[in-house]
Amino acid sequence: MTPELLAARRIVRRGQVLTLLGLLAAAGVYALALLYTPVEVRQGPAQKIFYIHAPAAWGALVAFAVVGLVSILYLWLKDERLDLFAASSAEVGIAFSLVMLTTGPIWGKTVWGTWWTWDARLTLTLFLFFLFVGYLALRAAVQDHGERARFSAVVGIMGLVLVPFIHLSVYLFRTLHPQPVLLKPSAPSMPPEMLRALLSGMAAFTLLYIGFVVLRYGLARLDNLREGAGDAL
Protein backbone atom coordinates (compact mmCIF):
# COMPACT_ATOMS: atom_id res chain seq x y z
CA MET A 1 0.00 0.00 0.00
CA THR A 2 1.53 3.30 -1.09
CA PRO A 3 1.86 6.30 1.24
CA GLU A 4 -0.46 8.33 -1.04
CA LEU A 5 -3.17 5.73 -0.65
CA LEU A 6 -2.75 5.68 3.12
CA ALA A 7 -2.89 9.48 3.24
CA ALA A 8 -6.06 9.56 1.13
CA ARG A 9 -7.71 6.93 3.34
CA ARG A 10 -6.76 8.90 6.42
CA ILE A 11 -8.40 12.01 4.95
CA VAL A 12 -11.58 10.06 4.20
CA ARG A 13 -11.70 8.74 7.77
CA ARG A 14 -11.16 12.22 9.15
CA GLY A 15 -13.94 13.49 6.88
CA GLN A 16 -16.29 10.79 8.15
CA VAL A 17 -15.64 11.75 11.77
CA LEU A 18 -16.10 15.48 11.07
CA THR A 19 -19.29 14.85 9.09
CA LEU A 20 -20.69 12.75 11.92
CA LEU A 21 -19.87 15.49 14.42
CA GLY A 22 -21.42 18.09 12.12
CA LEU A 23 -24.62 16.05 11.75
CA LEU A 24 -24.86 15.58 15.52
CA ALA A 25 -24.30 19.30 16.07
CA ALA A 26 -26.95 20.18 13.47
CA ALA A 27 -29.43 17.79 15.09
CA GLY A 28 -28.63 19.27 18.50
CA VAL A 29 -29.13 22.81 17.25
CA TYR A 30 -32.43 21.83 15.72
CA ALA A 31 -33.68 20.22 18.90
CA LEU A 32 -32.68 23.43 20.66
CA ALA A 33 -34.51 25.51 18.05
CA LEU A 34 -37.70 23.46 18.33
CA LEU A 35 -37.79 23.18 22.08
CA TYR A 36 -36.20 26.26 23.56
CA THR A 37 -36.43 29.20 21.16
CA PRO A 38 -39.67 31.16 21.37
CA VAL A 39 -42.27 30.80 18.64
CA GLU A 40 -42.15 33.92 16.46
CA VAL A 41 -45.29 35.93 17.11
CA ARG A 42 -46.43 36.70 13.59
CA GLN A 43 -44.88 33.78 11.66
CA GLY A 44 -45.73 30.98 14.05
CA PRO A 45 -43.90 27.65 14.00
CA ALA A 46 -43.13 28.05 10.28
CA GLN A 47 -40.32 30.35 11.29
CA LYS A 48 -38.45 27.32 12.70
CA ILE A 49 -37.28 26.46 9.17
CA PHE A 50 -35.16 29.58 9.43
CA TYR A 51 -32.65 27.62 11.56
CA ILE A 52 -31.88 25.40 8.55
CA HIS A 53 -32.46 27.99 5.87
CA ALA A 54 -30.04 30.67 7.04
CA PRO A 55 -27.16 28.34 8.04
CA ALA A 56 -27.49 26.55 4.66
CA ALA A 57 -27.17 29.90 2.89
CA TRP A 58 -24.13 30.61 5.04
CA GLY A 59 -22.64 27.22 4.10
CA ALA A 60 -23.20 27.90 0.39
CA LEU A 61 -21.51 31.28 0.68
CA VAL A 62 -18.52 29.80 2.55
CA ALA A 63 -18.26 27.03 -0.06
CA PHE A 64 -18.29 29.62 -2.83
CA ALA A 65 -15.63 31.79 -1.23
CA VAL A 66 -13.45 28.70 -0.69
CA VAL A 67 -13.79 27.72 -4.36
CA GLY A 68 -12.67 31.20 -5.43
CA LEU A 69 -9.79 31.54 -3.00
CA VAL A 70 -8.47 28.00 -3.55
CA SER A 71 -8.71 28.64 -7.31
CA ILE A 72 -6.39 31.63 -6.93
CA LEU A 73 -3.97 29.43 -4.99
CA TYR A 74 -4.22 26.76 -7.68
CA LEU A 75 -3.27 29.13 -10.50
CA TRP A 76 -0.34 30.25 -8.40
CA LEU A 77 0.99 26.92 -7.13
CA LYS A 78 -0.45 24.53 -9.78
CA ASP A 79 -0.89 21.81 -7.15
CA GLU A 80 -3.52 19.32 -8.28
CA ARG A 81 -4.71 18.79 -4.70
CA LEU A 82 -5.90 22.41 -4.58
CA ASP A 83 -8.01 21.78 -7.67
CA LEU A 84 -9.58 18.69 -6.11
CA PHE A 85 -10.28 20.66 -2.96
CA ALA A 86 -11.99 23.49 -4.87
CA ALA A 87 -14.10 20.97 -6.79
CA SER A 88 -15.11 19.25 -3.53
CA SER A 89 -16.12 22.59 -2.08
CA ALA A 90 -18.25 23.34 -5.17
CA GLU A 91 -20.06 20.01 -4.87
CA VAL A 92 -20.85 20.62 -1.22
CA GLY A 93 -21.84 24.19 -2.08
CA ILE A 94 -24.36 23.00 -4.65
CA ALA A 95 -26.01 20.83 -1.96
CA PHE A 96 -26.12 23.68 0.56
CA SER A 97 -27.51 26.17 -1.94
CA LEU A 98 -30.19 23.63 -2.93
CA VAL A 99 -31.20 23.31 0.74
CA MET A 100 -31.39 27.08 0.99
CA LEU A 101 -33.37 27.36 -2.26
CA THR A 102 -35.91 24.69 -1.26
CA THR A 103 -36.44 25.82 2.33
CA GLY A 104 -36.78 29.45 1.20
CA PRO A 105 -39.99 29.00 -0.82
CA ILE A 106 -41.49 26.65 1.82
CA TRP A 107 -41.00 29.35 4.41
CA GLY A 108 -41.94 32.13 2.02
CA LYS A 109 -45.24 30.50 1.05
CA THR A 110 -46.45 30.21 4.64
CA VAL A 111 -45.17 33.59 5.74
CA TRP A 112 -45.37 35.87 2.70
CA GLY A 113 -48.01 33.95 0.80
CA THR A 114 -45.70 33.63 -2.20
CA TRP A 115 -43.27 30.89 -3.19
CA TRP A 116 -40.60 33.12 -4.58
CA THR A 117 -39.48 36.69 -4.07
CA TRP A 118 -36.48 38.44 -5.57
CA ASP A 119 -35.08 39.09 -2.15
CA ALA A 120 -31.41 40.03 -2.26
CA ARG A 121 -30.20 36.98 -0.33
CA LEU A 122 -32.44 34.50 -2.13
CA THR A 123 -31.36 35.92 -5.49
CA LEU A 124 -27.72 35.79 -4.57
CA THR A 125 -27.96 32.15 -3.50
CA LEU A 126 -29.77 31.35 -6.74
CA PHE A 127 -26.80 32.80 -8.61
CA LEU A 128 -24.33 30.90 -6.44
CA PHE A 129 -26.26 27.78 -7.42
CA PHE A 130 -26.04 28.66 -11.13
CA LEU A 131 -22.33 29.36 -10.82
CA PHE A 132 -21.71 26.06 -9.01
CA VAL A 133 -23.67 24.27 -11.75
CA GLY A 134 -21.63 26.00 -14.48
CA TYR A 135 -18.39 25.23 -12.66
CA LEU A 136 -19.19 21.54 -12.27
CA ALA A 137 -20.68 21.21 -15.77
CA LEU A 138 -17.46 22.61 -17.22
CA ARG A 139 -15.41 20.15 -15.16
CA ALA A 140 -17.50 17.28 -16.48
CA ALA A 141 -16.95 18.42 -20.07
CA VAL A 142 -13.13 18.66 -19.98
CA GLN A 143 -11.11 15.47 -20.12
CA ASP A 144 -7.52 16.52 -19.57
CA HIS A 145 -6.83 16.94 -15.84
CA GLY A 146 -4.55 19.95 -16.14
CA GLU A 147 -6.91 21.73 -18.50
CA ARG A 148 -9.89 20.93 -16.29
CA ALA A 149 -8.08 22.38 -13.28
CA ARG A 150 -7.02 25.58 -15.07
CA PHE A 151 -10.44 26.22 -16.64
CA SER A 152 -12.39 25.62 -13.47
CA ALA A 153 -9.99 27.82 -11.49
CA VAL A 154 -10.64 30.63 -13.97
CA VAL A 155 -14.41 30.21 -13.57
CA GLY A 156 -14.05 30.06 -9.78
CA ILE A 157 -12.13 33.33 -9.67
CA MET A 158 -14.44 35.08 -12.15
CA GLY A 159 -17.39 33.98 -10.03
CA LEU A 160 -15.82 35.49 -6.95
CA VAL A 161 -15.61 38.83 -8.76
CA LEU A 162 -19.14 38.49 -10.14
CA VAL A 163 -20.88 38.07 -6.78
CA PRO A 164 -20.54 41.71 -5.63
CA PHE A 165 -21.89 42.85 -9.00
CA ILE A 166 -24.91 40.57 -8.66
CA HIS A 167 -25.50 41.91 -5.18
CA LEU A 168 -25.17 45.50 -6.36
CA SER A 169 -27.57 44.88 -9.28
CA VAL A 170 -30.21 43.35 -7.01
CA TYR A 171 -29.78 46.23 -4.59
CA LEU A 172 -30.18 48.88 -7.29
CA PHE A 173 -33.08 46.96 -8.80
CA ARG A 174 -34.92 46.76 -5.48
CA THR A 175 -34.40 50.36 -4.44
CA LEU A 176 -36.04 51.33 -7.71
CA HIS A 177 -38.83 48.78 -7.46
CA PRO A 178 -40.06 48.78 -3.88
CA GLN A 179 -41.65 45.42 -3.25
CA PRO A 180 -44.72 44.70 -1.15
CA VAL A 181 -42.66 42.84 1.42
CA LEU A 182 -44.64 42.39 4.61
CA LEU A 183 -41.97 40.79 6.68
CA LYS A 184 -38.26 40.76 6.41
CA PRO A 185 -36.73 37.28 6.59
CA SER A 186 -34.87 38.25 9.73
CA ALA A 187 -36.51 40.72 12.04
CA PRO A 188 -34.16 43.56 13.01
CA SER A 189 -34.56 42.92 16.71
CA MET A 190 -34.17 39.23 17.31
CA PRO A 191 -34.71 37.80 20.75
CA PRO A 192 -31.41 36.59 22.21
CA GLU A 193 -32.61 32.95 22.22
CA MET A 194 -33.24 33.12 18.48
CA LEU A 195 -29.94 34.77 17.79
CA ARG A 196 -28.13 32.16 19.85
CA ALA A 197 -29.91 29.33 17.99
CA LEU A 198 -29.06 30.97 14.67
CA LEU A 199 -25.40 31.40 15.54
CA SER A 200 -25.05 27.84 16.81
CA GLY A 201 -26.84 26.69 13.65
CA MET A 202 -24.23 28.49 11.58
CA ALA A 203 -21.44 26.93 13.61
CA ALA A 204 -22.96 23.47 13.16
CA PHE A 205 -23.32 23.97 9.41
CA THR A 206 -19.76 25.23 9.18
CA LEU A 207 -18.61 22.02 10.85
CA LEU A 208 -20.86 20.02 8.54
CA TYR A 209 -19.41 21.87 5.55
CA ILE A 210 -15.87 21.07 6.66
CA GLY A 211 -16.80 17.42 7.23
CA PHE A 212 -18.42 17.06 3.79
CA VAL A 213 -15.57 18.80 1.98
CA VAL A 214 -12.86 16.78 3.70
CA LEU A 215 -14.75 13.58 2.99
CA ARG A 216 -15.36 14.49 -0.65
CA TYR A 217 -11.74 15.61 -1.06
CA GLY A 218 -10.44 12.35 0.37
CA LEU A 219 -12.64 10.39 -2.00
CA ALA A 220 -11.44 12.52 -4.93
CA ARG A 221 -7.83 11.71 -3.97
CA LEU A 222 -8.66 7.98 -3.87
CA ASP A 223 -10.40 8.26 -7.26
CA ASN A 224 -7.36 9.95 -8.72
CA LEU A 225 -4.99 7.30 -7.41
CA ARG A 226 -7.17 4.59 -8.91
CA GLU A 227 -7.16 6.41 -12.27
CA GLY A 228 -3.38 6.82 -12.09
CA ALA A 229 -3.00 3.12 -11.38
CA GLY A 230 -5.27 2.36 -14.34
CA ASP A 231 -3.12 4.49 -16.65
CA ALA A 232 0.05 2.78 -15.56
CA LEU A 233 -1.23 -0.64 -16.60
Question: What string marks each residue from 148 to 177 as x (binds another protein by CB under 8 A) or -?
Answer: --xx-xxx-xx--xx--xx-xx--xx--x-
Question: What string marks each residue from 132 to 151 as x (binds another protein by CB under 8 A) or -?
Answer: -xx--xx--xx-xxxx--xx
Shortest reach from residue 141's CB to another protein, in Å: 4
Asked if 19 contacts 232 with a C-beta cutoff of 8 angstroms, the reply is no
Q: What part of residues 67-106 is at the interface with another protein (CB under 8 A)?
A: 75, 80
Total binding residues toward another protein, as defined by CB under 8 A: 39
**In the complex with another protein, which residue's Cβ is closer, 133 or 199?**
133
User: CA 6 to CA 112: how far, in whole Å?
Assistant: 52
Residue 233 in contact with another protein, rule: CB under 8 A: no
**In the complex with another protein, which residue's Cβ is closer, 120 or 138?**
138
Residue 227 in contact with another protein, rule: CB under 8 A: yes
Q: Binder to another protein among 6, 130, 181, 195 (CB under 8 A)?
A: 130
Shortest reach from residue 214's CB to another protein, in Å: 20
Q: Interacting stretch for another protein, rule CB under 8 A, among 7-15, 32-40, 48-56, 124-132?
A: 124-132
Q: Binder to another protein among 28, 45, 191, 228 (CB under 8 A)?
A: 228
Instruction: Give one DSSP letter per residue of the chain, joined into a string.
Output: --HHHHHHHHHHHHHHHHHHHHHHHHHHHHHHHHHTSPPBTTTBGGGGGHHHHHHHHHHHHHHHHHHHHHHHHHHHH--HHHHHHHHHHHHHHHHHHHHHHHHHHHHHHHHTS-S----HHHHHHHHHHHHHHHHHHHHHH--SHHHHHHHHHHHHHHHHHHHHHHHHHHHHHHHHS-----S-SS-SS--HHHHHHHHHHHHHHHHHHHHHHHHHHHHHHHHHHHHHHHHH-
Q: Give the residues lining the site for another protein (CB under 8 A).
A: 4, 75, 80, 127, 130-131, 133-134, 137-138, 141-142, 144-147, 150-151, 153-155, 157-158, 161-162, 165-166, 168-169, 172-173, 176, 224-225, 227-229, 231-232
